[in-house]
Amino acid sequence: MSRFRNVLLVAALAALAAPAIAQTKATGLGRPALPEEIAAWDIDVRPDGAGLPPGRGSVKLGEEIYLERCASCHGEFGEGAGRYPVLAGGAGTLNKENPDKTVGSFWPYASTVFDYVRRAMPFGNAQSLTPDETYALTAYILNMNDLVKEDFELSKENFASVKLPNVGNFFDDDRETSEKAFWKPQPCMKDCKPDAPKILGRARALDVTPDSKTGPRVE
């Protein structure tokens, strides 16, 4: 009996150890990614400019490329054709009922524009833009939002000098401090209200259900 138990124990230990052994052995599938493949994926640009490729592009050149490759969807002035996204305007609307969230009114960093355009636009032909074209388009979008002048040229070197107006409204999650007052380490999970709930009104008494005479006509 005890021998049988030992056999079981050994079998169980072997089963536990098996995945660990499998993980350390090469699977024999695939191959290491080539540096060029990693470089093709590694295209993110951070707010401090890290990740920007060398290059430059003017508002003027950006306008030319924009009219050719972007305006059909985003409108000649960034106003958005049909239901395509608006890229310019909306300043001062963020606290209104229908805020116009654009690069100029809402986005925190110019790097987001560069990164997004380079990664995803023009829609349907993503990643077809050269670094210089992306600099030029970013410059033009900033210009449409009155954030840089018409003779501005954006480059890797001066990128960090561009500040977007809404940057101050983006901050790290601060709930641990700002909401500390109503955070309870041990929240009540049972019988938390001392009294039974009180019914303050009834839908029928409030007369919220339209009757056949006053309610909307349904054909």
List residues near ligand HEC by CB under 6 A: 69-70, 72-74, 84-85, 87, 102-103, 113, 116-117, 121-124, 137
Nearest to ligand HEC of 38, 67 (CB atom): 67
Using the minimum distance from each CB to ligand HEC, give the nearer residue, 9 or 94. Answer: 94
**Closest approach of ligand HEC to the CB of residue 184, in Å:** 38
Nearest to 142 by CA among 173, 109, 191, 188: 109
Of the pair 57, 122, the CB lying nearest ligand HEC is at 122
Q: Please give the Cα distance from 218 to 207 (Å, whole number).
A: 19
* In the complex, minimum distance from the CB of residue 59 to ligand HEC, in angstroms, rounded to a whole number: 13
Closest approach of ligand HEC to the CB of residue 195, in Å: 49
Min separation Cβ 48 and ligand HEC, Å: 20
Report how far apart, in Å, the C-alpha atoms of 164 and of each of 11, 50, 56, 110, 167 are: 63, 17, 19, 7, 6
Residue from 107, 166, 169, 168 nearest 138 by CA: 107
Cα 219 to Cα 120, 209, 214, 216: the distances in Å are 47, 18, 15, 10
**What contacts 118, CB < 8 A, 6 or more positions away?**
43, 45, 127, 129, 131, 134
Cα separation, 74 vs 84, in Å, equals 6
Which CB, 49 or 142, lies closer to ligand HEC?
Answer: 142
**Shortest reach from residue 189's CB to ligand HEC, in Å:** 40
Q: Compare residues 45 and 69 and give the one whose CB is closer to ligand HEC.
A: 69
